[in-house]
Amino acid sequence: MNTFTQPRPATGEHGLGTAIARPVMNPYLAGILLGLVLLATYLVTGRGLGATAGFAALATWLTGLVSPESVQSSLVHRKYWNEGAPLLNWTLFLLCGAFIGAAVSAWQARRFAIVTERGPRISDGQRLALAFAGGFIAACGAKLAKGCTSGQALTGSSILNAGSLLFLLAVFVAGFGLAHLVRKEWV
Amino acid sequence: MWPLSSTIEFSLATELAIALVLGIGFGVALERAGFGSARRLTAVFYLHDMAVTKVMFTAVVTTMVGLFALSTLGLLDLGELYVESTNLLAQGIGGLLFGAGFLIGGYCPGTSVAAIASGRKDAVLFALGMLAGVYAYAAFTPQLDDWYKATSLGELTLPALTGVGMGWWTLAFIVALLVAAWGMSRIEGRARREPGRRAGA
């Protein structure tokens, strides 16, 4: 859609980076690029991409700082404890790399902008609260399903994993099914 | 013979360096696709901009073709690749929850990182919500992991399930992508012709 190739943060206050943003890449080319990164990950590591595990490792590390006992009392935390070095987590390093790559790419394309993205009919505060709530719900879903858009939808689907394809289908069923309810948030 | 991990024992430092390098590629791909923007990501659910489905579908097919071609040429041992066990209830309910969180939050875990790197404040809140969510899961529902294992179907791929080989499935996915690309361009054309629908009464 052409309107999206123009500087996008049309609502919300504008901060840095209101210079003309460059158009984003053709989605099919971007898909091939993403697919090649995923393929390279498979060829080198034997596993695909992921993201949620990085957040889990970070949560375990934070929990360990506050209360080491609660780390030991949770099976999930113990999985990410890594003998006291939860930050030396493969997926967390992947996310650090992703941050660097995206930052350089956004800066180069003049798409960096300190803004809150929302539709025109809600406030920044409402949008930020919904972003937090959405992150919470998405994390619970990803933990239950053992993966997110990266670990299940992309990585698993490309090797024809039945559970991953079901996950992918369920994500879009929920997204399209609930879109009308939160229409005000976006359009 | 690929994957390299099947023949080389990487040290921890090497593994993490590999993660960082692959991550840079991952971040560049997400940002180039425009996925550092919640409005662009959620536009797919209102049929205004199908970039999310275009990028994801193309990425899946690209990887699938690569895996199939390399294994056919004898360069890759598919059996060495990790396959997450399937648990239909977990992936079904988890996927529905995840989709709701994606729509409401505006991001998914990977794209929230790309969006934070692009300066989006709402992505910071999404990431904090993720942290709270994984913490809550670990603190309150640790027994779910046992349930997952007990009711899991094990490694289950479509070729194993149907007896139809990966090559045929790959071909089917290529054809499905071409049909979907045609369909998505029609959907976007309709959204452009009826701008009133975008204002969303």
pLDDT digits over A42-75, tens only?
999 999 999 999 999 999 999 999 999 989 988 8
Contact B108, A138 (CB under 8 A): yes
Report the pLDDT averaged over residues B31-42.
97
Interface probe with A: pick from B130, B143, B157, most Cβ of A within 10 Å = B130
Q: Which of A139-143, B52-56, B150-154, B191-195 has the lowest mean pLDDT?
A: B191-195
The CB density around residue B200, as the number of other CB atoms within 10 Å, is 15
Report the pLDDT averaged over residues B11-36.
98
Does residue B4 form part of some domain?
Answer: no
Does A125 reach chain B within 8 Å, measured CB to CB?
no
Per the structure, the count of domains in chain B is 1
Chain A residues with CB-CB distance to B120 below 8 A: 113, 115-117
Residue in chain A nearest B90 by alpha carbon: A145
Report the pLDDT averaged over residues B137-150.
87
Residue in chain B nearest A5 by alpha carbon: B34
pLDDT value at position A128? 98
pLDDT value at position B197? 54
* Alpha-carbon distances, residue B40 vs A119, A130, A168, B84 (angstroms): 11, 17, 19, 30
> With 60 as the cut, is the pLDDT of residue B36 above it?
yes
pLDDT tens by residue, B40-66: 999 999 999 999 999 999 999 999 999
Query: Which helix H or strand E contains B86, and what residues bound it?
Result: none
pLDDT value at position B199? 45
pLDDT tens by residue, B81-107: 999 999 999 999 999 999 999 999 999
- For chain B, the distance separating the N- and C-terminal CA atoms, rounded to the nearest angstrom, is 58
Q: Cis link prior to B3 (omega < 30° from 0)?
A: yes
All residue ranges of chain A with pLDDT < 70 are 1-19
Cβ distance B12 to A148 less than 8 Å, yes or no, reads: no
Round the average pLDDT of chain B to a whole number and report it.
Answer: 94
pLDDT value at position B191? 86
Q: Please report, to the nearest 10 degrees, the dihedral formed by the alpha carbons of residues A27, A6, A102, B105 taken in order.
A: -80
Say what the ipTM of the complex is: 0.95
Q: Note the pTM of the prediction, 2 decimals.
A: 0.93
Host domain of residue B100: 12-199
Does residue B3 form part of some domain?
Answer: no
Q: Which of A41, A151, A163 sits opposite B156 (nearest CB)?
A: A163
The number of helices, as runs of H, and strands, as runs of E, in chain A is: 9, 0
Chain B residues with CB-CB distance to A113 below 8 A: 118-120
